[in-house]
Amino acid sequence: MSVGTMLMQLGKGMISTTEIFFLTLLFSLPLGLFVSFGRMSKNGLLRGISKFYISIMRGTPLMLQLLVVYFAPYYLFGLNLRGYRFPAIILAFSINYAAYFAEIYRGGIESMPVGQYEAARVLGYNKLQTFVKIILPQVIKRIMPSITNETITLVKDTSLAFVLAHAEMFTLAKQIAAKETSMAPLMAAGVFYYIFNFIVAFSMERIEKALNYYR
Amino acid sequence: MENNTNVLLEINHMCKGFEGLDVIKDISLSVKEGEVVSIIGPSGSGKSTLLRCATMLERMEGGELIYLGKKAVWEENGKCVYAGKAQLREIRKNFGLVFQNFNLFPHYSVMKNITDAPVSVDGVSKGEAKKRAESLLQQLGLSDKADAYPYQLSGGQQQRVSIARALALQPKILFFDEPTSALDPELTGEVLKVIRQLAKEHMTMIIVTHEMQFARELSDRIIFMDQGVIMEQGTPEEVFSSDKERVRDFIGKFQA
């Protein structure tokens, strides 16, 4: 196999990796916010459930979660779902990352000075306005470095989709490497991941800078 | 004269405790339109708690709270009951509060800090809110700071912005919770100047402060609190010449 063909194939895998990456962020970022609300809820049951959820998601391997999410419908309910492989990957990644994001949001929200809430209350803002206009924008600024960290980890974690034999970049690199008995595809994959993360880090830094208009 | 002046705020038998410790013990107080009332007293005497209960940041445990004749809090079967959400929202419009540490919104410019609540809470048009803000900023000598962010301002400027933010909602009563305690003497002066100006315009104000001289020259009435009760109240002359030892002691320390 020529280097060109190899890179072409890896490039295709890269597209799939990018899909997993963006879809996971799309679902897990908002989902994490709701989990963090549950985690901070006054309702003990809701708080307990959220805590348990976070503890399972953080306490077991993501690879195992991928397998469970993919195979559970068949083994538990006898369902033979067609085309479930990709949705299963997105689902598993999203619920896993939501747990991590939830704790990041919680840290950010709990670090907000109570005076901000009090000022908003006296000025007549309702709870939703207070959160959306006053609290959340400041929380986002505070948690950006942690979000960047998670996001970079996610880029690399997408490679775990290989356990479900999904044709993302790492799966392909491994296959080609085995077939060609060569290290080159793996090295090339490493370079791809690095470039991807370089772009991610660069973009996040831009966002952080943009948020630096206030202190 | 007493009869034809509006009572804006009425506190009857307010009680409040924290973990079994009584911080406010059966305090009654009423404030008329145009009155400037200063609350002084040692730390831990309950001044700030009184203010925080009156502005509903803290839940009172006994007594009544009435703004312009409308009950915000009352007692039923020995327990405090608060009015419904919608009513409280209306009642809250009657007062503003200036905090000790300003609590400006750091992500909003000075202009947005002042205009956002009128627009998104009171439904004032953006143009009108901006006009109000500009006139307030001019009045407070901050016209050139409209586009600045709070972190770019001195403490005194920040406190003046927070006063403007409160005034932009056109409250009938303005509460101050130790407005100069976070400021050095120079910056304190510029904030006190603004409060004096408001007093001249007959703004009704309730001020918790440690600035004795300021309270003396500005207030219509001074309330001296100690251990959760009003120990002395009256005109500045009356309070400053009180024959109660505790009051004399406390005031004496500031005049030394």
Give yes or no for residue B116 having a pLDDT over 90: yes
- Give chain A's residues under pLDDT 50: none
Residues of chain B above pLDDT 90, percent: 90
How far apart are alpha carbons B74 and B190 in whole angstroms?
A: 39
Strand order in the sheet with B21-32: B21-32, B7-18, B62-67, B70-76, B79-82
Among all residues of chain A, which has the CA nearest to that of B148? A214
Nearest-CB residue to B107 (from A121, A126, A214): A214
Q: Which residues of B touch A137 (CB under 8 A)?
A: 107
Can you state the angle between helices A62-77 and A85-110, rounded to 10 degrees?
130
Pairing of strands B7-18, B21-32: antiparallel
Q: What is the pLDDT of residue B254?
A: 77
* Average confidence score pLDDT of chain B: 94
Question: What whole-number percentage of chain B has pLDDT above 70?
Answer: 97
* 3-class SS of residue B247: helix
Segment among A59-63, A123-127, B151-155, B241-245 with least mean pLDDT:
B241-245
- pLDDT tens, A115-138? 999 999 999 999 999 999 999 999
pLDDT at B3 over 80: no
What is the complex's ipTM, to 2 decimals?
Answer: 0.93
pLDDT of residue B2: 47
Cα angle value B56/B58/B63 (rounded, 5°):
75
Contact B169 A124 (CB under 8 A): yes
8 Å CB contact of A138 and B106: yes
Q: Is A212 on the interface with B (CB under 8 A)?
A: no
Residue B48 has pLDDT above 50, yes or no: yes
Tell whether B151 lies on the interface with A, counting CB pairs under 8 A: yes
Using an 8 Å Cβ cutoff, are B39 and B47 in contact?
yes
Cα B247 to Cα B41: distance, rounded to the nearest angstrom: 8
Are B180 and B98 within 8 A, CB to CB? no
Residue A143 C-alpha, separation from nearest chain B C-alpha, in angstroms: 15
Q: Which of B57, B58, B100, B167 to mutate to test the interface with A (most CBs of A within 10 A)?
A: B57
Assess A215–B contact: CB distance below 8 Å, yes or no. yes
Amino acid A199: pLDDT: 97
User: Which one, of B187, B184, B219, lies nearest residue B37 by Cα?
Assistant: B219
**Chain A: residue whose CA lies nearest to B109:** A214
Asked whether residue B8 carries a pLDDT value surpassing 60, the answer given is yes
Ordered by start, the domain boundaries in chain A are: 3-213
Look at residue B121 and tell me whether its pLDDT is greater than 80.
yes
Confidence (pLDDT) at B256: 58
**Is B87 an 8 Å CB contact of chain A?**
no
Which of chain A's residues have a Cβ under 8 Å away from the Cβ of B104? 119
Q: For domain A3-213, give the CATH superfamily.
A: MetI-like (1.10.3720.10)
Instruction: Look at residue B5 in the predicted model and tell me its pLDDT.
Output: 67
- Would you call A119 and B104 a contact, using CB atoms and an 8 Å cutoff? yes
Among positive and negative, which fits the CA dihedral A174, A180, A184, A189? negative
Tell me the β-bridge partners of B38: B207, B222
Q: A122: which chain B residues are within 8 Å (Cβ-Cβ)?
A: 55, 57, 92, 95-97, 166
- Give residue B127's pLDDT band: very low, low, confident or very high (50, 70, 90): very high
In single-letter form, the type of residue at position A98 comes to A
The packing angle between helices B155-167 and A114-123, to 10°, is: 30
Closest residue in chain B to residue A214, using alpha carbons only: B107
Whether residue A121 and residue B57 make contact (CB cut-off 8 A), yes or no, is: yes
**Residues of B with CB below 8 A from A215's CB?**
106, 149, 151
Local confidence band at B176 (pLDDT 50, 70, 90 cut-offs):
very high
Q: Chain B within 8 Å of A202 (Cβ-Cβ)? A: no
Is pLDDT at B1 greater than 50 in this prediction? no
pLDDT at position A107: 97
CA distance B200 to chain A (A): 24
* Counts for chain B of helices (H) and strands (E), in that order: 9, 11
Q: Are strands B79-82 and B70-76 parallel, antiparallel or unpaired?
A: antiparallel
Query: Shortest CA distance to A6 belongs to which of A151, A158, A207, A180?
Result: A180
Q: Is the CB of A122 less than 8 angstroms away from the CB of B92?
A: yes
| Nearest CA distance, B16 vs chain A (angstrom) | 19
B181 closest CA partner among B210, B216, B140, B144: B210
